[in-house]
Amino acid sequence: MTLRMGLLSTAHVHTGGFASRLSASDEVEFVGMTDDDEERGRETAAEHGVEFYEPDALLERIDAAIVASTNVTHRRWVEPAAAAGVDVLCEKPLATTMADARAIVAACEEAGVRLGLAMPLAHSVPARRAREAYERGEIGELQAAVGTNRAWFRDRHLTGWSADEEHAGGGAAMDHTVHIVNLLRRITGEEVTEVHAEFGTMHEGIAVEDVNVLSMELSGGGIFTLDGSWDRPDDWDYWGDAALTLVGTEGEIAVDVFDQTIKRTRAGEGIDGVYWGSIPDDALLADFVAACEEGRPPLVGAEDGLRETAVVLAAYESDERGGPVEVDY
């Protein structure tokens, strides 16, 4: 049986990537998409050669949906999907407030639908290898963790909303905290207990933070910092990075998820990296489809969304207070 899938909203910068994956998948029938911005939705649907539907009409025709909306509107899309019995793969972060995060999780639980998060890092081969090594005890007890998840600032212009608080719910901290926090939680099973945030805004023309440097304490007593800034210049050779080094009593695990690239220099176009490793988004989608078919939770889902939203909100609270804040789960 093929899973009938659709896209709820086309606002997100990952819309095109997921639409192409749905089109290419043998296990999925890509039914179509909807959007509250009808013009944008119809245009995107035409680009990918699928139907545009009104939201209710699409929900009637699909088994599972990807919510690719702005950060602040996830709840508005997930609740009706859950009510229609549609499994949901939601963009990250799960929500921009704890109230929304809890409502999304409750709606999916009540309806008995699967809730997955579009967080690819845990699905990557390097992350899976790191988790296996950690579970074998290769680094002993975790002492310190250092992560980076930087990005091109230029990508903020692609959607028109990702650096706009009204739609994104914040800046780099809202966008680029959850990936590495999830990666660390996934590999080690540790939780973040305290966050101190140093935010900054170095680019002109935005009102949100583009510098996002977090200092955290972990449940096992380890220390953890994360730089999730939008600080890579336009000419940097890759969209960004996703890296995490874990130092324990017995050794070290260093993950650099996208460090499988060919360096490409093109006359007049500068230097960039051509990725040749296994694509984490493919593994993410495969896991979600399998989860829907097997009736099991996806690898990254509700609990991750709740906990990571709490860490993000603690970071914003720390920025306001100017000091460390305990994470309120």
Placement of tokens 């997100």 in the chain: 12
Placement of tokens 């920025």 in the chain: 319
Q: Which is nearer to another protein, 59 or 285 (CB)?
A: 285
Interface residue list for another protein (CB under 8 A): 124-126, 129-130, 133, 136-140, 250-260, 262-267, 269, 274, 276-278, 283
Q: How far is the CB of 132 from another protein (least distance, A)?
A: 9
Q: Which is nearer to another protein, 121 or 195 (CB)?
A: 121
Q: Which two tokens stand for residue 139?
A: 């680094």
Q: How far is the CB of 243 from another protein (least distance, A)?
A: 9
Q: How far is the CB of 131 from another protein (least distance, A)?
A: 10
Q: How far is the CB of 236 from another protein (least distance, A)?
A: 16
Q: Which is nearer to another protein, 266 or 328 (CB)?
A: 266
Q: How far is the CB of 251 from another protein (least distance, A)?
A: 4
Q: How far is the CB of 220 from another protein (least distance, A)?
A: 18
Q: Which is nearer to another protein, 1 or 262 (CB)?
A: 262
Is there a contact between 161 and 70 (Cβ–Cβ < 8 Å)? Answer: yes
Placement of tokens 């490409």 in the chain: 264
- The span from the CA of 189 to the CA of 181, in Å, is 11
Q: Which is nearer to another protein, 251 or 297 (CB)?
A: 251
Q: Which is nearer to another protein, 137 or 160 (CB)?
A: 137
Q: How far is the CB of 7 from another protein (least distance, A)?
A: 25
β-sheet bridge partners, residue 90:
67, 117
CB-based contacts of 322, cutoff 8 Å, min separation 6: none
Q: How far is the CB of 255 from another protein (least distance, A)?
A: 6
Q: Which is nearer to another protein, 44 or 124 (CB)?
A: 124
Q: Which is nearer to another protein, 199 or 288 (CB)?
A: 288
Q: Which is nearer to another protein, 95 or 139 (CB)?
A: 139
- Per-residue three-class SS string for the chain: CCEEEEEECCCCCCHHHHHHHHHHCCCEEEEEEECCCHHHHHHHHHHCCCEECCHHHHHHHCCEEEECCCHHHHHHHHHHHHHCCCEEEECCCCCCCHHHHHHHHHHHHHHCCCEEECCCHHHCHHHHHHHHHHHCCCCCCEEEEEEECCEEHHHHHCCCCCCCHHHHCCCHHHHHCHHHHHHHHHHHCCCEEEEEEEEECCCCCCCCCCEEEEEEEECCCCEEEEECCCCECCCCCCCECCEEEEEECCEEEEEECCCCEEEEEECCCEEEEEECCCCHHHHHHHHHHHHHHHCCCCCCEHHHHHHHHHHHHHHHHHHHHCCCEECCC
Q: How far is the CB of 324 from another protein (least distance, A)?
A: 31
